[in-house]
Amino acid sequence: EKGLRVSDKGFLNTAVLRSEITFIDGDAGVLRYRGYPIEQLAVQSSHLETAYLLIYGSLPSKAQFQVFHDEVMHHSVIHSDAEQFFRSFRYDAHPMAMMTTALAYLGSYYSEANPSLQGQNLFTRGDAASLAIMDKQIYRLIGKATTLAAMAYRVRQGREFVTPPTGLSYTGSFLYQMDHLGQENYAPNPVLEKALDVLFLLHADHELNASATTVLQTGSSLVDPFSAVAAGCASLYGPLHGGANEAVIRMLISIGKPENVPAFIEAVKKREKVLSGFGHRVYKTSDPRSFIVRKTADEVFKITGRDDLLDTAMALHDAAMKDEYFIKRKLAPNVDFWSGLIYRAMGFPNDYFPVLFAVPRVVGWLAHWRQMMLQSGGVKIWRPRQIYVGPGKRDYVPVDERI
């Protein structure tokens, strides 16, 4: 234990690096991407422009954004033989399992970007050629994230895949590929496209959450970014993290009518149930994203019609916010509490919601990955220590002498 500082289990309150990307003040409920308040970006920016900001550190000029946009959209196409790969999934495989697997699989396509083939310092060299390869992997991952997500959706429906269209926005192209009305009927709905774009922007990054830490832990071995992002996607899949938006809807459905809320609250207080969508490791007053999501929900419901679960969600929210149990534990709605209601109103199946978290979060994972690759002094593999509390030295006992 000499010289080791033991952080509580699960990295609680442990700073493992310095970052210029996202700032969170958990007590004041503040979230800024590269210094810009999330409230301003949500209204004035777009997910793809914010992606550029998070990854490269400044808001792009018109020309810079055009190049970035065109590269991402150009690289959203998937090799046609990857379609057979997707067809190998059972139709009812969880879409997050499909995303995680497909991201790792796709990484094998790009040998020019494979550090084990091109030299382990490929991403840390920092010269123009390797930066260009890094950028291309970034364009590919952001572009293909929507296409993989759409393919996972179509597998679930037993429908043919849709080639990413040209001329639509990043979110519009995604909705086009997903569209369950069939492409001939597809008419971009600006309100729904904008709502999804705001949700993508809000989910783009969140400092060193479990999945970003997973990407960096994995990336620190200098594996390629597709593999590191696949690892992050696996972490996000869990119900304590990105899987919470799906868990919220299942929770609301299980509660049913608003009059059942008090009984549910009591069950939570007895620790028989978890109030999904509430609480946060960092935010101890409020998650600023939840207010923007809540407002976006009202915009969406004007188009899709009000979701009957909204009354239950609002009753649950109001009951929890004035209950001593939750107040004492500083539990408030997080980004996941309201977002599932929007996805449900937009017609996505419940288990697809975490995919709608993963697609935009690819941006944040890549921002942290790129920052680590280019950090001064190069990359050190992440290798935490432990405090050993197991048995002392003991000798082997042959099986016949064991009781």
Closest distance to ligand SDX from the beta carbon of 150 (Å): 23
Among 281, 286, 299, 323, contact with ligand SDX (rule: CB under 6 A): 281
Contact 124, 374 (CB under 8 A): yes
- Region of 1-9, 273-281, 309-317, 348-356 interacting with ligand SDX (CB under 6 A): 273-281
Contact 46, 201 (CB under 8 A): yes
Q: Taking CB under 6 A as the criterion, which residues in 237-256 touch ligand SDX?
A: 240-241, 244
336 is catalytic: yes
Read off the tokens for 264.
């549910």
- Tokens of residue 221, six digits: 């071995």
- Three-state secondary-structure class, residue 390: coil
Q: Which residues of 255-265 are buried (b: 16+ CB within 10 A; e: fewer)?
A: beebeebeebb
Q: Decide: helix, strand or coil at residue 307.
A: coil
Looking at beta carbons only, is 215 or 222 nearer to ligand SDX? 215
CB of 21 to ligand SDX, least distance (A): 13
Structure tokens at 334: 């997080």
Nearer to ligand SDX, 282 or 321 (CB): 282
Among residues 103, 86, 355, 354, the alpha carbon closest in space to that of 230 is found at 103
Would you say 72 and 66 are in contact if contact means Cβ atoms under 8 Å apart?
no
- Kindly state the tokens that stand for 109: 């396509």
Q: Nearer Cβ to ligand SDX, position 33 or 278?
A: 278
The least CB distance from residue 169 to ligand SDX, in Å, is 23
Phi, psi of 263 (to 5 degrees): -65, -40
Q: How many residues bind ligand SDX (CB under 6 A)?
A: 20
**Closest to ligand SDX by CB, 278 or 338:** 278
Q: What are phi and psi of 276, to 5 degrees?
A: -65, 145
Q: Which residue is nearest to ligand SDX (CB)?
A: 279
- Answer yes or no whether residue 204 interacts with ligand SDX by CB under 6 A: no
Instruction: Please identify which of the residues 75, 94, 206, 280 carries the catalytic annotation.
Output: 280
Contacts by residues 61-67 (CB-CB < 8 Å, ≥ 24 positions apart): none
Nearest distance, CB of residue 72 and ligand SDX, angstroms: 22
Q: Which of residues 331-360 bind ligand SDX (CB under 6 A)?
A: 331, 334-336
* Beta bridge partner(s), residue 22: 33
User: Residue 243: which of 121, 353, 333 has the closest Cα?
Assistant: 353
Residue 349 neighbours by CB distance under 10 Å: 15
Smallest CA-to-CA distance from 100 within 217, 203, 238, 216 is with: 238
Residue with tokens 């990336």: 219
Whole-angstrom Cα distance, residue 286 to residue 30?
9
Which CB sits closer to ligand SDX, 124 or 334? Answer: 334
Nearer to ligand SDX, 32 or 241 (CB): 241
Select from 72, 268, 300, 310 the one that contacts ligand SDX (CB under 6 A): 268
329 interacts with ligand SDX by CB under 6 A:
yes
Task: Return the residue matching tokens 């799906």.
Answer: 246
Pick from 89, 161, 264, 278 the residue near ligand SDX by CB under 6 A.
278
Binding part of the chain for ligand SDX, among 77-85, 128-136, 276-284, 393-401 by CB under 6 A, reads 276-284
280 noted as active-site residue:
yes
CB of 68 to ligand SDX, least distance (A): 23
Residue 280 as a binder of ligand SDX (CB under 6 A): the answer is yes
Per-position DSSP letters for 314-328, written without gaps between them? HHHHHHHHT-HHHHH
- Give the shortest CB-336-to-ligand SDX separation in angstroms: 5
Q: Does 229 bind ligand SDX (CB under 6 A)?
A: no
> Shortest distance, CB of residue 4 to ligand SDX, whole angstroms?
22
Which residue in 179, 224, 287, 336 is the catalytic one?
A: 336
| Residues annotated as part of the active site | 280, 336
Could you list the residues that contact ligand SDX (CB under 6 A)?
A: 206, 209, 240-241, 244, 268, 274-282, 329, 331, 334-336
